[in-house]
Structure 1
Amino acid sequence: MRKITDILSTKGKWFLIALAIVYFGIGNLLITTIAGIEQYAYAKTVAQQLAERYAIMPSSSSQSSSLITPTVANYSILVDGELIWHKSNLSESEQSLSLYHFSFDAQKLTVHVALISLYAQYKWVFISFNLLGIGLGLLGYISGRLLFLPSILSLNRIEGWARRYLNEPQHHFKAQSEDFLLEHALEKLDQAKYAAQLHPHTVDAYIRGQTFLDNDTGIGNRIFFDHRLEALLNEPEIDSHGAVYLIQLKELDLVQMQGGNDEVEQLLALFINIIDKYLKDHQDAVFARRSDLDFAILMPHISLTEAEKVAEKLVRLCNRLNVPEYADTDNFFHVGVAYFQANDLPYQVLAEADMALRAAQLQGPSNWFMYDKGAIIKDMAKGSVRWRTAIEKALQREAFVMLFQPVIAIEDELPHHNEVLARMRDEHANLVNASVFLPMARKCGLVPQVDKLIITKTIKLLEYEEGYVEMCSFNLHCDSLNNKEFVDWLIAHLEAHPKACERLIVEIQEYYLVQQSESLKSILARIKATKVKLLVDHVGLYVVNTQYIKEHNIDYLKVHRSIVSNIDQRPENQLFIRSLQGACANTQVKIFALGVENEQEWETLKQIGITGAQGHYFTEPLEQFEPFKTRY
């Protein structure tokens, strides 16, 4: 590939040479040729006239009618070689200008005719002609240097950078002139590309924010909230329950009209700050803005009694707002609550919450309302003391059952690894889902003991089934990682079983990892040192920064089911996964998806190009490995 300047300089050089040849060479030759023909014809005519008239000077009427009329310098007539007449029209000093001579013989009569050269006769014309050519040439050269050469050199720099960039993608372009916008644009684009490669989490966070965040407040938007609610209600093998709270700031429009945007922004910032602080104690809660006046909170895995307490707390928190005097403080906000259980439809839950909101508004001053949901599952109504007793008994009996769900690789549709899913067997021999007993275990401070039991069972299985069982992953909860005694036990236990560690994957929730990144850094490094791999799950459940991917040397990411659900119909969720792939560029991180329920979702994920997926589309959680071994 040749440079633009090489082409321009080569062709331009030959073009200028050709132009000079044409102008100076062919131009002068053409004029000289025409003049010579004219002089020859004229001299011949004069000689013939003189021969006929002997010594008679030719009259002007006998001269050529050409535009260029030659001038006779002198002539001589000889008869039999003897000069009989000589006539000169020039002085002696001008005789040297007689350059063209013509002789004519007729019957012993010889006539010599000398004409003045056209270069001599029209010398200033010829000088002016050549000076004009030289001037135009110099003008073209200077103009080219001033106007075109900088542009050509700029193109040369750009093409030189492009040639080097093809061989060295890390090479950066630096603009060398302030006069060319193209160079500056390329430099900025190159800087932006480098920044995106250096900090891909910023690009990923931007795409997440544009898709799932409210532009004015920075919290989740309607899409964000609806996806989380739908994923929670449709999550298989989990007895979903909880509450949805709709909070409407009814007088916010009045504040907008009376106080302007600044006062609205201050009021919203205070409201969001108050709610965020309260929700820190409810790690699974989702907070979002559904419209200009409406906000929503999703509180999963709480009982009906707890849902009522949360509603009362929200009312007390909202009463802390500094409402302007011109607004109706008694009717500034209202809260509608809908309690949901498994198999409820998302639109029904939201419709019930909206109806409860209208009922609260009809009742008068700022308050909350919830319709009677009816009988609640008895297990959900257990008190903390009864839950503690049930979990402690299960730990003593080691009454925790492990189920396994394969994560299928797209490349060969074989299991990449198996996730260990814990179930607790209660006193009635019923299996209780982890989503039910783990929140209560957390309240009772028993999560580290539960994790110890699951880890011990998993490692025993890997050692017993050595050479047959694929890699296994298990969830490690933040409560356990914050317990120094547990961490010391975990590291010692892993170091005691090095072969099993090579097939172990620890799963940590994305939100917890981001929130406690600094405190977890050394702990995760110690875990990685045992050759255990790290997987971050629940990716996409919250809008967080993905800088942790490189900070903690993560091996795998697992996208949350709220992103995977109906992904074939949701381009914004497809964009999210592609942004995640961009954040993982230049790393060895593999991306998996959780919650694949049908072929359309599976095919879409294949097209996007992730590593694998997990869900009921492939198989339900199993108590052993063999069934899905034979299936795939």
Structure 2
Amino acid sequence: MSLFRQLWLVVVVSTLIAFSGSFVVSMFTARNYLQQQLFTQSTDSAASLALSMSQQKKDPATVELLVSALFDNGHFRLVRYSDVHGKTLVERVNRTPPDKVPEWFVRLFPLDAGQGVAQVSDGWMQSGSVTIIAHTRFAYQALWDGALKLFLWILIAGVLTGLMGSALLRTIQRPMRRVVEQARAITERRFITIPEPRTPELRSLAQAMNRMVTQVKAMFAEQASRIEQLRQEANNDALTGLANRDYFESRLRSALHDDDAPPTGALLLIRLFDLAGINQRLGRDRTDQLLREAADRIRESAAEDDERLLARLNGADFALLDLRADVSETRHLAQQILDRLTDLYRQGLTDQDNVAHIGFTLYQHEDDPAQLWQQVSEALAQAQATGANQARQAEQADRARMLDVAHWQPRLEQALQQQHFALGQFPVLNMQGERLHDELMLRLRDLESDGLLPAGRFMPAAARLGLIPQLDLEVVRLALQHVKQARQPVAINLAAASVLSTEFQGKLLLQLNQHSREAKYLWFEVNEHGFRDELQALGQLATRLRPLGCKVGIEHFGRHFNSIPRLHELGLDYLKVDGSFIHQIHDNRGNQLLVKAIADIANNLGIITIAERVESEQEWQALQALGIQGVTGPAATRHGG
């Protein structure tokens, strides 16, 4: 029973008790008072009538006239004149019942008016007696009116008390509701603070809850800082702060082999000229300063696009991976880097005007990493042979098709209208080899070859055309059809552009509500890279999807660690740790510490952790020891079939 109902029940019961007690006490008190008044009236009237009769003749006509005169005023039930022997000579009786007074009330509160008796004299002799009983109907009327007024007053007082109690309860309920919402948010792994109410008892409760939440946030912030430090130590170059070679090569493998990776990109190899000679001539400190400044110049050039990753490979070599690039863009980028690096000579940071050379090559999805490194190394050698501060492209057949929006637009629009899309699926297993869910990947039916094109082939063009939300809705439609048959959980990737669209969210929720039985099998995940600054939108989406039974998570987690401090606010269900931290993790102590820290903070929040791109049994066993709860990748495919 709600507090409002309980309050009104208490008010009603209290009103009834108050009314009953007051009614009984008031009625008996009033009855006794009225009985006393009636008796007094009877006695006084009898004395008055007897006196009048004593002064008059005692003939029957006079006596009857006097009795009738008193009786006719209607205030008496009985007026009787008797002789000295008790014989009734004249009697008037009025048995009229009380007006508008219920019989049950008369029976419940009987009035005994009492009789007044007076002697009638004739000179010094007694000639008879007068007996008078006052009528109770007016007393009953007064008693009944008093009872009604008492009931009405107590009723009004009860209603006013209930209304004031309800208003007070609403005032109390607001902070209580906030406390309940805060507690519910904690159960959903969201830690929020609430305003402190004015009520002392509730204020102390809110303060205690807020202190707990603040401490939890501080704990997570500390853990996030520790994780970022571990990432820096494990995957970044200590001198320049750029990614190191292992991390860069792992990200390159992801760009070449991940199903959702763009179809084309560029790899640049940048080398500072004669670094060993500069070290001998200028000393180690000046050389370290040169490397840091060179890293800053390259970082400034690459920072214009979030799809670029910069690393220091060894002493003089830097590498840059551009996930979305064509020939003209890459040439412009290489020249921009050279222009900024040659400025180091003008600033006196190096003693020679020949500062750096660049070799670059374009790649296509599924290219071999070793061949790419060979091609870009050959291009770098050609640049060094050409002259000072030169950039050269690898001499190869340009197999990477440029993104032809005009080519893809009619094809994608037709595919959406005629539903030419299909799904590929890959298993995600827990550490015991049991299936957690299947990852669903969108495929486009190629009408020419009757094959299926991976998402990386058409998604870049779809992004430029603004079709990503429509494609995501198509994936949801196909996933619901799949779940209706298989009744197994599936994971769907949503783009940042979709989640940020209120129109998309409305259509998504409408579609899920229409298939509520299937919706509870859906796991929605977003790429952390696309949500570095839009985590609030992701938290709102999770809040709207949770009542439908859906799960929400982040894939490629760890590439950008600014989301870790806010994990407690998002209410996520799972994380997929980026494969760049998983490759050869059994031999990488730094990544082991990093992944364990991620698993610990996620497990404390009740968030499932899944490792991406697990390739070997050694990696699987190492991840299990680190507290990871699920795996995906080639090893999972072999186990899951």
**Shared topology, TM-score over 0.5?**
yes
Which secondary structure does the structure 2 equivalent of 1:373 belong to?
A: coil
**Does the 8 Å CA contact 2:404/2:461 hold for their aligned counterparts?**
no
Question: What amino acid maps onto 1:511 in structure 2?
Answer: H
CA distance in 2, matches of 1:387, 1:457: 21
- In the alignment, what sits opposite 2:479? 458
- In the alignment, what sits opposite 1:385? 406
- In the alignment, what sits opposite 2:430? 409
**Does the 8 Å CA contact 2:405/2:464 hold for their aligned counterparts?**
yes
Deviation of 1:289 (Å): 1.7
CA distance in 2, matches of 1:555, 1:294: 41
Residue 443 (str. 1) matches residue 464 (str. 2)? yes
CA distance in 1, matches of 2:374, 2:421: 38
Q: Which residue of 558, 571, 574 maps to 1:553?
A: 571
CA distance in 1, matches of 2:497, 2:351: 44
- In the alignment, what sits opposite 2:226? 203
**CA 1:239–1:482 in structure 2 vs 1: closer, same or farther (change >3 Å)?**
closer
- Deviations for 1:235-263, whole angstroms, at most 9, x for unmatched residues? 57979653210123438748965994896
- In the alignment, what sits opposite 2:243? 220
Question: What amino acid maps onto 1:507 in structure 2?
Answer: E
Residue 562 (str. 1) matches residue 583 (str. 2)? no
CA distance in 2, matches of 1:266, 1:208: 19
Question: Identity of paired residues, percent?
Answer: 25
Which secondary structure does the structure 2 equivalent of 1:547 belong to?
A: helix
Which secondary structure does the structure 2 equivalent of 1:217 belong to?
A: coil
Q: Which residue of 422, 445, 463 maps to 1:425?
A: 445
Matches within 5 A, 1:305-344: 307-315=330-338, 323-324=346-347, 327=350, 331-341=354-364, 344=367
- In the alignment, what sits opposite 1:517? 535
- In the alignment, what sits opposite 1:12? none
**CA 1:562–1:244 in structure 2 vs 1: closer, same or farther (change >3 Å)?**
same
CA distance in 1, matches of 2:561, 2:384: 32
**Does the 8 Å CA contact 2:532/2:560 hold for their aligned counterparts?**
no
Which secondary structure does the structure 2 equivalent of 1:359 belong to?
A: helix
CA distance in 1, matches of 2:259, 2:479: 23
- Deviations for 1:426-450, whole angstroms, at most 9, x for unmatched residues? 3313311112211221122221111
**Does the 8 Å CA contact 1:592/1:610 hold for their aligned counterparts?**
yes
Deviation of 1:312 (Å): 4.5
Which secondary structure does the structure 2 equivalent of 1:619 belong to?
A: helix
Question: What amino acid maps onto 1:244 in structure 2?
Answer: L
Question: What amino acid maps onto 2:505 in structure 1?
Answer: V
Residue 600 (str. 1) matches residue 621 (str. 2)? no
CA distance in 1, matches of 2:569, 2:287: 39
Matches within 5 A, 1:160-559: 196=219, 199-235=222-258, 241-250=264-273, 253=278, 260=286, 264=290, 267-268=293-294, 270-280=296-306, 283=307, 285-300=308-323, 302-304=325-327, 307-315=330-338, 323-324=346-347, 327=350, 331-341=354-364, 344-376=367-399, 380-381=401-402, 383-411=404-432, 413-428=433-448, 429-462=450-483, 464-465=484-485, 468-542=486-560, 544=562, 546-559=564-577
- In the alignment, what sits opposite 1:7? none
Deviation of 1:341 (Å): 3.9
CA distance in 1, matches of 2:574, 2:303: 31
Q: Give TM-score, length-normalised by structure 2.
A: 0.59
- Deviations for 1:544-588, whole angstroms, at most 9, x for unmatched residues? 552232121221111222333333333333332212112224211
Which secondary structure does the structure 2 equivalent of 1:279 belong to?
A: coil
**Does the 8 Å CA contact 1:521/1:552 hold for their aligned counterparts?**
yes
CA distance in 1, matches of 2:222, 2:362: 42
**Does the 8 Å CA contact 1:323/1:329 hold for their aligned counterparts?**
no
**Does the 8 Å CA contact 2:220/2:565 hold for their aligned counterparts?**
no
Deviation of 1:344 (Å): 4.3
CA distance in 2, matches of 1:554, 1:193: 16
**CA 1:618–1:290 in structure 2 vs 1: closer, same or farther (change >3 Å)?**
closer
**CA 1:446–1:416 in structure 2 vs 1: closer, same or farther (change >3 Å)?**
same
**CA 1:372–1:204 in structure 2 vs 1: closer, same or farther (change >3 Å)?**
same
**Does the 8 Å CA contact 2:525/2:553 hold for their aligned counterparts?**
yes
Q: Give TM-score, length-normalised by structure 1.
A: 0.60
- In the alignment, what sits opposite 1:97? none
Deviation of 1:461 (Å): 3.0
CA distance in 1, matches of 2:244, 2:491: 32
- Deviations for 1:179-201, whole angstroms, at most 9, x for unmatched residues? xxxxxxxxxxxxx9996566321
Which secondary structure does the structure 1 equivalent of 2:240 belong to?
A: coil
Which secondary structure does the structure 2 equivalent of 1:454 belong to?
A: helix
**Does the 8 Å CA contact 2:262/2:323 hold for their aligned counterparts?**
no
Question: What amino acid maps onto 1:202 in structure 2?
Answer: S
Deviation of 1:418 (Å): 1.2
CA distance in 2, matches of 1:511, 1:385: 27
CA distance in 2, matches of 1:550, 1:200: 12
- Deviations for 1:252-293, whole angstroms, at most 9, x for unmatched residues? 74896599489648834741552343222xx3x321122343
- Deviations for 1:111-152, whole angstroms, at most 9, x for unmatched residues? xxxxxxxxxxxxxxxxxxxxxxxxxxxxxxxxxxxxxxxxxx
- Deviations for 1:43-64, whole angstroms, at most 9, x for unmatched residues? xxxxxxxxxxxxxxxxxxxxxx
Across the aligned residues of Structure 1 and Structure 2, the Cα RMSD in angstroms comes to 3.5
**CA 1:290–1:572 in structure 2 vs 1: closer, same or farther (change >3 Å)?**
same
CA distance in 2, matches of 1:256, 1:469: 69
CA distance in 1, matches of 2:606, 2:284: 55
Query: What runs of 5+ residues in structure 2 fail to find an aligned partner?
Result: 1-214
- In the alignment, what sits opposite 2:132? none
Question: What amino acid maps onto 2:222 in structure 1?
Answer: H
**Does the 8 Å CA contact 1:556/1:592 hold for their aligned counterparts?**
yes
CA distance in 1, matches of 2:310, 2:364: 19
**CA 1:497–1:213 in structure 2 vs 1: closer, same or farther (change >3 Å)?**
same
**CA 1:602–1:263 in structure 2 vs 1: closer, same or farther (change >3 Å)?**
closer
CA distance in 1, matches of 2:593, 2:505: 37
CA distance in 2, matches of 1:460, 1:338: 42
- Deviations for 1:293-323, whole angstroms, at most 9, x for unmatched residues? 3221112354556544543454456567784
- In the alignment, what sits opposite 1:186? none
**Does the 8 Å CA contact 1:481/1:520 hold for their aligned counterparts?**
yes
Query: What runs of 5+ residues in structure 1 fail to find an aligned partner?
Result: 1-191, 621-626
CA distance in 2, matches of 1:421, 1:515: 25
**CA 1:389–1:329 in structure 2 vs 1: closer, same or farther (change >3 Å)?**
farther
**CA 1:295–1:558 in structure 2 vs 1: closer, same or farther (change >3 Å)?**
same
Question: What amino acid maps onto 1:267 in structure 2?
Answer: E
**Does the 8 Å CA contact 1:196/1:202 hold for their aligned counterparts?**
no
